[in-house]
Amino acid sequence: MDFESLLSDIRSREDYAGQIHNLSRLPEREAMYGQLGIDLNPTVQSILDGLGIDRLYQHQTQAIEATLSGENVVVVSGTASGKTLCYVVPLAQHIYERPTSRALLVYPTKALAQDQLRKLGEFGAGEAFRAATYDGDTPRNQRRRIKRECQVVLTNPDMLHIGILPYHHTWAEFFRNLDYVVLDEVHTYRGVFGSHTANVIRRLRRIAAKYGANPRFVACSATIGNPGELFGELTGLPARVIDEDGAPQGRRFFMLWQPPVVKQATGQRRSASLEAAELLCEMVRKGVRCIVFVLARRVAELILRYAREQLEEEGLADRVMAYRGGYLPAERREIERQLFEGELLGVVSTTALEVGVDIGGLDAAILTGYPGTIASTWQQIGRAGRAQGDSLAALVTLPGGVHRYLLEHPEYLLDRDAERVRIDPRNRYILAGHLACAAYEQPLEDVDVALFGDEMEDILQVLGDPSSREDSRLPYVTKRTRWYWVDPDIYPAAEINLRSTAGQAYSIVLEKTGDKLGTVDADSALRTVHEGAIYLHAGESYLVERLDLEERTAWARKTRARYYTEPTMVSQMKVVSWQEEGTVPGGAPCRLGELWTSPRKSRASAKCAR
């Protein structure tokens, strides 16, 4: 695609109002190849030959050699740089040489696990060795066979936590032969989710050791500032960091796009959603395959609606679609397929497509608002670009100080290193729950301090004290020679959600047919699918007639309403007292004190869809 001509066409439009605030042309990067210093198994080599892979990138050869030599490895490289080969080649090599070998592949989402299972098929999965996903969508009648027969199991941290480790005795043969654990997309394991996952991995290492296994770990990540440190916090192990990306990259056009002023008196600018929709339409009309990233699910639906309205007369409305959480799994798989096969020219997505589900080659990425970190910005931008072909990226700015700063200082995005990912697996509230889970899985001993830290004993003392619990006179654990879980009928893992404390999601069901339309998180259900709410789904509007709190179901019907509803959140805060005063690096004053916050109140308001 000739993006110079495309940009020239945009500038020549009658409605162009100088939206391109900054345009940078990032040069292409040549591939850096490496030479393997070891011989691959003939079967593995023939598979690579059959895939047309006659040379490996430098980061791939380094990762394969390090893994096969027994090192723990973390690979850091850009989107579409071939990270999968870094662990699939040594994994396949090991299985072909020792068929009893087992591997556990952990992905942050079920969709990514399904996508990677398809790629494993290219290396013999389903024929030379057996592989399967094991998650909440796995039919129960297949689970026993997977435990007994599969050499490679693909799962997510949630299922590992709640459905595998507590039942490790049913996985005894698998754990006994566990040689590899792969942690993909580790940059997504940040904050509370990452802190929970780190404790799940420690529990995994503990159970593997019980069966005599000491698996090596291979992690893959997009660019972050502290890959080795993050790997250590996640696993409790050292690793070799391989962060020199050898994959080629085409020339990239990156522009900051500022919506034009529509009210001179107030300085109000045009909606960023409308601007993003028009940019998407421009790409679709030119045959440019494009992804639009947004910060909220509702915005994804609005941009889809705006784009379809503009493309309707040209017969292109069905070539764009939205993609977000809340869609049914089958719906998301179908959208992924249509993207991969080129049936769709454009997709509007939340961060659900930021991680590496294979959706084929895209040419352009439009970011509707700064995603919050430099790492996420380049991860989203990196979804566009095919090998050494040119690509286009645009950041459509929103109102507010952060975006004004980026407009004035584009070098912040272009020149600065990616942020460091922070987690705290030793957080007492998080660690306490996982110590309870660990005691349920097998009694805790003093040697487990090496996994869980020096505070383990103190936390167990609290868990073993009946007075520390308001809901029961029984303790969680008790100590004889070791710490034991008290009641085998209570299942502690079920009480810990690695990602949310909101509980079971609500279903959205069509009144006339009873068909399930989608789902919504419990913590937002009362704000988004209350009675009278307009719910947007796949570019259509649905009116919620009633919300059944006991059944956790919203009953809706299709409507032609030209408006949507949006909750308005109101809260109040005031300082009760100051306790400490000081300064932060740079000299800015700071204070530590007690803050009173009122309960949040919300009310729904309706807005025009245009």
Q: What is the pLDDT of residues 158-200, one digit of tens each?
A: 999 999 999 999 999 999 999 999 999 999 999 999 999 999 9
210 shares its domain with 190: yes
Strand order in the sheet with 152-155: 131-133, 152-155, 102-106, 178-183, 216-221, 73-76, 240-242
Q: Concatenated DSSP letters for 111-179?
A: HHHHHHHHHHGGGTBTTTB-EEE-STTS-HHHHHHHHHH-SEEEE-HHHIIIIIGGGGGGGHHHHHTEE
* 169, part of any domain: yes
Please give the pLDDT value at position 252: 92
pLDDT, mean of residues 41-52:
88
pLDDT, mean of residues 21-46:
90
From 215, 242, 269, the end of a domain falls on 242
pLDDT higher than 80, residue 386: no
562 shares its domain with 479: no
- For the chain, the first-to-last Cα distance in angstroms comes to 32
Give dist(CA 373, CA 50) in Å, integer. 39
Beta carbons of 185 and 231 less than 8 angstroms apart: no
HSE of 72, CA atoms in CB hemisphere, 13 A: 18
The full 3-state SS of 486-551, as one line of letters, equals: CCCCCCHHHHCCCCCCCCCCEEEEECCCCCEEEEECHHHHHHHCCCCCEEEECCEEEEEEEEECCC
Domain limits at 318?
3-28+249-415
HSE of 383, CA atoms in CB hemisphere, 13 A: 31
From 444, 470, 495, the end of a domain falls on 495
92 shares its domain with 235: yes
378 shares its domain with 460: no
* 608, part of any domain: no
536 shares its domain with 460: no
Q: Supply the pTM of this predicted model.
A: 0.84
- In degrees and rounded to multiples of 5, residue 487 shows phi and psi of -120, 110
Please give the pLDDT value at position 596: 83
238 shares its domain with 281: no
Highest mean pLDDT among 203-217, 322-336, 466-480: 203-217
260 shares its domain with 111: no
pLDDT higher than 80, residue 7: yes
Please give the pLDDT value at position 299: 93
Secondary structure element (H or E) that encloses residue 6, with its range:
helix 3-12
Give dist(CA 610, CA 607) in Å, integer. 9
564 shares its domain with 582: no
**Listed residue (358, 333, 371) closest to 184, CA to CA:** 358
Beta carbons of 562 and 608 less than 8 angstroms apart: yes
Please give the pLDDT value at position 387: 64
pLDDT tens digits for range 586-606: 788 888 888 887 665 555 555
What is the number of domains present in the chain?
5
CATH number of the domain that residue 308 is part of: 3.40.50.300
Please give the pLDDT value at position 398: 95
pLDDT higher than 90, residue 469: no
69 shares its domain with 216: yes
74 shares its domain with 135: yes
Residue 480 corresponds to which tokens in the numbers above? 């004889």
316 shares its domain with 435: no
* 421, part of any domain: no
pLDDT higher than 80, residue 472: no
Beta carbons of 198 and 234 less than 8 angstroms apart: yes
Give dist(CA 426, CA 505) in Å, integer. 29
* 461, part of any domain: yes
485 shares its domain with 536: no
Give dist(CA 98, CA 482) in Å, integer. 37
Please give the pLDDT value at position 349: 93
* 398, part of any domain: yes
